[in-house]
Amino acid sequence: MAELEAVIGLEVHAQLLTRSKMFCGCRAEYLGLPPNSNTCPTCLGLPGALPVINRRAVEMTIRTALALGCRIPEFSKFDRKNYFYPDLPKGYQISQYDLPLSLGGHLEFEVGGERRSCGVTRVHLEEDAGTLHHAGEIHTAKFSLVDLNRAGVPLMEIVGEPDLRSPREAPHYLRALRQLLLHLGVNDGNMEQGSLRCDANISLRPRGQREFGVKVEVKNMNSFRSLQAALEFEFRRQTAVIESGDRVHQETRGWSEAEQGTFSQRSKEEAQDYRYFPEPDLPPLRVSRELVEELRAGLPEPPLRLKDRLRDQHGLSEEQAALLTERLQDAEYFQAMVASGAPPRAAANWQIGPLQALCKESALAIEHSPVPAAELAALVRMVEAGEVSGTSGREVLAEAFALGRSPVELIRERGLIQVSDAEQMEAWVELAIQQLPKAASDFQSGNDRALGPLVGAVRKASGGVANPDLASRLLRERLGRGGE
């Protein structure tokens, strides 16, 4: 039998970072609030309440669609997707069926340095459901509690074409999509909390065959890792089914993190008939060409192009450029440092290294760093010019970060401008050798590790301002190993 190939398409749901919900004035931010406190007649689905379209959500969806190269039809409409479930207060979800806000785009992404492209069928807009809290396990719980704080939060659905050919590609596509959403500022990218969710369709076919096999929808993956694991599991499972001579059943399966496997949730026969029809409470949406062009003009540079540009323009490594373009704000910070005169590669190292570590420690996004790009750039310039040691520089940065002070000011205040004056240095070297005679003789007799404490002693004697490179050179010369 011919080798089997996977055909995979992802459906991604992204909560939009609007201030209010999709169809009412309640806050879109719902986490951590008392149950059902973030609600109104509209998102509670009370009889008589009506929806009103959130303009910002429409704009964010169009921006995303444009960034994915989609067409924006002049007319769009909302439809009702009808089904009964306790987290769906109206008994239908307002979504978009046959006239979505956008159609036909693609996403570029990379797998191991190789550029790929995946089609995007459509990007459309809908509303999120509420959440259920079961008293125990779902099937045995005595009761379940309904919380509608999330009901009506704007949800953008990005439907990918079945263009992915291996489970390994899927997380790369999703990463690129997440990065794009972050660059656009439309989603917070948090998969764990469910503000970014991913379902996958996967079918298998003999390599070379054009027709698709029977597809299975897999749900419940809440990380890149579980997405890949679920698809790999399905690949193995479906392969076994086919190789045993059976046929794969069209169904929806759920990924279990605990079991590291997928489990049947609903067969094709049990599939719901959603009875879509046009939402009569909302007039059709006319999207003016002026708005589309205005939104297009405001799009940021595509993340991959930005990465290539930073790499090539500033001589960064691929990895550095990738790290600096994960979020648009990272790239903006870096570019601001370069604009302030910091040498690009040093700037990149300082941002990716010490600054990001400090930000991570205090759970701050880089754009909220207490040390702005221009000030870090000034520090990097001093270090590069040899005016301050790298060690001092890192210490000062940490202090400046904690105090919200300027690192350069701190350096001046503390007299940390590095001393390289030969006469002064030689005096400190003599002092260090007197203080650590054993280390000095060990180094003389070939023990390289003894040099470190001696350099430390020079720095200590100098109150931290001695140039450490010069100190070790002078120590080598003084102890008779200058030629090495």
Binding to other proteins by residue 45, rule CB under 8 A? yes
Question: Which range of residues in 51-59, 236-244, 374-382, 443-451 is near other proteins by CB under 8 A?
Answer: 51-59
SS3 434: helix
How far from 475 is each of 424, 438, 448, 456, 458, CA to CA, in Å? 13, 14, 12, 11, 9
Query: Which residues pair with residue 4 across a beta bridge?
Result: 206
Half-sphere exposure of 302 (CA within 13 A, CB side): 14
Q: Taking contact as CB under 8 A, which single stretch among the options 49-57, 289-297, 309-317, 361-369 is the one that binds other proteins?
A: 49-57
Q: Which residue do the tokens 């979020």 mark?
A: 327
Q: Residue from 46, 240, 365, 417 that binds other proteins (CB under 8 A)? A: 46
Residues 260-289 that bind other proteins (CB under 8 A): 273, 275-277, 280-283
The region of 40-48, 113-121, 296-304, 429-437 touching other proteins under the rule CB under 8 A is 40-48
Number of C-beta neighbours around residue 91 at 10 A: 11
Smallest distance, Å, CB 86 to other proteins?
Answer: 6
Which of 99, 111, 146, 398 binds other proteins (CB under 8 A)? It is: 146
* Closest alpha carbon to 168 in 105, 252, 106, 112: 112
Q: Which is nearer to other proteins, 51 or 303 (CB)?
A: 51
Which range of residues in 50-58, 383-391, 414-422, 472-480 is near other proteins by CB under 8 A? 50-58
Buried b (16+ CB within 10 A) or exposed e, 286-300: ebeeeebeebeeeee
Residues 6 or more apart from 74 whose CB is under 8 A from it?
Answer: 286, 287, 289
Determine contact, residues 168/228, Cβ cutoff 8 Å: yes
Decide: 120 and 70 in contact? Cβ < 8 Å: yes
- Rounded Cα gap, residues 61 and 125, in angstroms: 7
Side-chain-side CA neighbours of residue 3 (13 Å): 5
Residue 91 or 452 with smaller CB distance to other proteins: 91
Q: Which is nearer to other proteins, 97 or 224 (CB)?
A: 97
Name the phi and psi angles at 447, rounded to 5.
-85, 100
Shortest spacing between CB 21 and other proteins, in angstroms? 14
Taking the least distance from each CB to other proteins, the nearer of 84 and 114 is 84
CA dihedral (131, 136, 137, 143) positive or negative: negative
Smallest distance from the beta carbon of 45 to other proteins, in angstroms?
A: 5
Stretch of residues binding other proteins (CB under 8 A), selected from 83-91, 313-321, 346-354, 449-457: 83-91
Q: What minimum distance in Å lies between the beta carbon of 79 and other proteins?
A: 10
Binding mask 86-115 for other proteins (x = CB under 8 A): x--xxxx-----------------------
Nearer to other proteins, 89 or 152 (CB): 89
Residues 344-403 that bind other proteins (CB under 8 A): none
225 binds other proteins, rule: CB under 8 A: no
Q: Between residues 98 and 211, which has the closer beta carbon with respect to other proteins?
A: 98
For other proteins, the closer of residues 75 and 84 by Cβ is: 84
Q: Is 49 in the site for other proteins (CB under 8 A)?
A: yes
315 vs 269: CA distance, rounded Å: 57
Per-residue binding letters, 155-194, with other proteins (x by CB under 8 A): ----------------------------------------
Q: Measured from the CB of residue 140, what is the shortest distance to other proteins in angstroms?
A: 13
Size of the site for other proteins (CB under 8 A): 27
Buried b (16+ CB within 10 A) or exposed e, 384-417: beebbbbebbbbbbbebbeeebbbbebbeeeebe
The contact set with other proteins (CB under 8 A) reads: 41, 45-53, 80, 82, 84, 86, 89-92, 146, 273, 275-277, 280-283
